[in-house]
Amino acid sequence: MVRKHWFWPVLTSLIVGGFGLWLKSACAVSNWGSSAFTYTNLCYSDIGPLYFVRGLADGLVPYFDAFEGRHVEYPVLTGVWMWLTAQATVALAGAANITTFVGLTWIVSLVFIAITVGIISKMSTGNRESAWWLALSPALVMTLGINWDSLAVLSGVAALYFFTKNKPDTAAIMIGVGTAAKLFPALLLVPIVAHLIARRNFVGVLRMGAISFGTWAAINAPFIILAREGWWEFFEFSRTRGIDFGSIGLALSYIWNINLTTSHANTLGLVAVGITALFVLVRGQSLSIYSGAFLVVAMFSVTNKVYSPQFWLWLTAILVLCNVSRSAFIGWNIAQGLYFFAIWRFLLFQLDPSQTGGLNNTEYGLAIVVHVLSTAVMMYLVATGPQNSQKLRKK
């Protein structure tokens, strides 16, 4: 029997993603920075440590209960995912079994990514290999097991899929769901609005915004009403977080001794994303919806106060939809891989400068420059290259 065209990329993503999780399993239960082994083996993950330090192992409910003065610092759908996994862990293996918590989280993440690959295989893009590119990507191997990003990635890709299939209401719902899990899916409204404006569908613009916000608000409402302080933790943490790993601000400090304040970094990020959003809106339908999505999310990622390693997966899931050459995609992944290696070697140096193979501040700052410049080049290629043909009927 001939398999449908989605079957093999999806199967491959399960194998590749599973292999990456197996590599991470060597230190899945490690505490943050507890051992040089975590960094030398590139197997760091937030999932195991947060099970304990946010009180999930003690039966606390995210947002409603604080653990040692801290609430879960993620949007609510991610917190709900964490809590449900904790409940399943207790039922299956007991609260102390961190391996079960990590394993269940990873299984769900792998399923979400496999569904994402399946959706991409059904999308009409300028890249016929798009599903394969994600299924075989080093980002999938290296970053899937770090955090709870796969739900937002799935929601974002699904939003683009449904919009290009002339189902804008469903697309708006997916944006609302994604934003309730991580922030970046909200940025996908920019290219969608650009296409609606280009088609003079101003009612559609208002409808997309209303449904997206309404979905997000409906998911968040119970927490806003009943656990406002815990719900606000994510926003307060995002606002006050200092300049952190992988950011332009950190590179400026480490290489050129230019020190930005948190306020300056916030302003830089907002202005950069605002200018990019304006560019996408002005280009309208002459810029494919996928290209517009990549430009906005990429600018958000590289001008943020932190560039978390899993941002590589965010960007890959959108970039594969764009009409870029295979060589450019490979080159960008090599640069991202170099940064991925550098962040752990830098943390190794911070943990113990006497360890062989650590990177000092200046060397790590140069690695940041590499990942930022590689994404900037990719943004240029996406913005100026041939655009995907999209046949969207006017509604």
Rg over alpha carbons for the chain, rounded to the nearest Å, is 21
How far is residue 354's CA from residue 313's CA, in Å, rounded to a whole number? Answer: 32
SS3 content of the chain, % helix, strand, coil (to 5): 70, 0, 30
Q: Hey, what are 368's tokens?
A: 């940041």
Task: Please provide residue 145's backbone torsions phi and psi, each rounded to the nearest 5 degrees.
Answer: -90, 5
**Sign of the torsion angle spanned by Cα atoms 255, 241, 294, 156:** positive
Measured torsion, CA atoms of residues 195, 197, 198, 200, in degrees rounded to the nearest 10 = 130
* pTM score: 0.95
Q: List per-residue pLDDT tens for the chain, 395 residues long.
A: 334 689 999 999 999 999 999 999 988 776 655 678 899 999 999 999 999 999 999 999 999 999 989 999 999 999 999 999 999 999 999 998 999 999 999 999 999 999 999 999 999 887 889 999 999 999 999 999 999 999 999 999 999 999 999 999 999 999 999 999 999 999 999 999 999 999 999 999 999 999 999 999 999 999 999 999 999 999 999 999 999 999 999 999 999 999 999 999 999 999 999 999 999 999 988 999 999 999 999 999 999 999 999 999 999 999 999 999 999 999 999 999 999 999 999 999 999 998 889 999 999 999 999 999 999 999 999 999 888 755 444 44
pLDDT value, residue 108: 98
What's the token pair of residue 132? 């394969």
Site of tokens 């940041």: 368
What is d(CA 336, CA 311) in angstroms, rounded to the nearest whole number?
10
Reduced 3-state DSSP string for 174-204? HHHHHHCCCCHHHHHHHHHHHHHHHCCCHHH
Q: Report the candidate in 248, 242, 304, 247 with the shortest Cα–Cα distance to residue 273.
A: 304
* Nearest-angstrom CA–CA distance, 16 and 45: 18
- Amino acid at site 198: A
- Non-local (6+) Cβ contacts of 372 within 8 A are 248, 251, 302
How confident is the model at residue 34, as a pLDDT? 64
